[in-house]
């Protein structure tokens, strides 16, 4: 997915806010460490808290309902590629038992069964969203668009000089193939008005 450089920047800023909040919360818990609630207790509690999310398909089910909204059983199976009907049924039952998903029976005819996130499930989804966004960026699934591009008027054919300045990426590229003169001027001048070649008007 390609999104604007300004939105990429906003996402990074929001992730940074979450990182700061997480570090603060971790320090606050650490202040209460003693003989009864030491680091070992914290690790065990964290593992237990994540047990539902670490189960195969549980996090995928939560993500599907968080992103796509209320869904029927067959709709979820189509969205979750590779899951069997039996596994989906078992995992939905587990999510219901853990208070993350509601199984809602709608009056008919025909009677419909719909799965939706509980408030607890939606809260977990909102808290997981920054982590999902971070991983999408880290894996290159979401990238920033080029903000400006120029067709080099001094060239014939598909030679282009492109100025890309997304966060942390600022460079300028001169069209210098096939005998085309190298553009003059600084990168700043290039960004401001595009390259100019010797001999151009």
Interhelix angle 119-138/5-30, rounded to 10 degrees, is 120
d(CA 99, CA 120): 7
Cβ–Cβ < 8 Å for 15, 128? no
Question: Nearest-CA neighbor of 82 among 57, 116, 64, 53?
Answer: 57
Distances (CA, A) of 27 to 43, 60, 124, 179: 14, 30, 21, 61
Q: Are 65 and 117 in contact (CB under 8 A)?
A: yes
Residue 14 has pLDDT above 80, yes or no: yes
Q: Write out pLDDT tens, residues 130-147.
A: 999 999 999 999 998 864
Mean pLDDT, rounded, of the chain: 79
Buried b (16+ CB within 10 A) or exposed e, 27-59: eeeeeeeeeeeeeeeeeeeeeeeeebeeeebbb
Contact 166, 149 (CB under 8 A): no
Structurally, at CATH architecture level, domain 2-143 sits in: Orthogonal Bundle (1.10)
Q: Can you say whether the dihedral through the CA atoms of 47, 52, 58, 62 is positive or negative?
A: negative
Q: Structural domain boundaries of the chain?
A: 2-143, 146-193
The pair of structure tokens assigned to 86 is 């039996």
For 163-201, how does the pLDDT look when each residue is reduced to its tens digit (9 = 90+)?
Answer: 333 333 333 334 444 445 444 444 444 444 554 444 444
pTM of the model: 0.63
Give yes or no for a contact between 96 and 102, defined as CB atoms under 8 angstroms apart.
Answer: yes
């Amino acid at each position: 997915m390609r999104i604007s450089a300004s939105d990429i920047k906003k996402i990074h800023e929001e992730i940074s806010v979450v990182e700061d909040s997480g570090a603060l919360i971790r320090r606050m818990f650490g202040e209460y460490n003693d003989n009864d609630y030491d680091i070992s207790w914290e690790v065990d509690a964290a593992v237990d808290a994540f047990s539902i999310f670490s189960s195969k398909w549980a996090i995928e089910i939560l993500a599907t309902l968080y992103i796509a909204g209320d869904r029927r059983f067959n709709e979820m199976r189509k969205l979750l590629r590779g899951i069997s009907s039996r596994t989906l049924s078992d995992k939905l039952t587990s999510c219901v038992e853990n208070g993350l998903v509601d199984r809602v029976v709608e009056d008919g005819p025909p009677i419909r069964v719909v799965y939706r996130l509980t408030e607890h499930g939606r809260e977990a989804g909102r808290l997981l969203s920054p982590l999902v966004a971070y991983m999408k960026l880290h894996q290159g699934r979401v990238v920033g668009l080029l903000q400006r591009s120029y067709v080099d008027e001094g060239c014939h054919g598909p030679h282009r000089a492109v100025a890309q300045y997304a966060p942390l990426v600022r460079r300028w590229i001169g069209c210098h193939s096939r005998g085309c003169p190298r553009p003059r001027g600084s990168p700043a001048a290039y960004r401001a008005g595009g390259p100019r070649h010797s001999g151009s008007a």
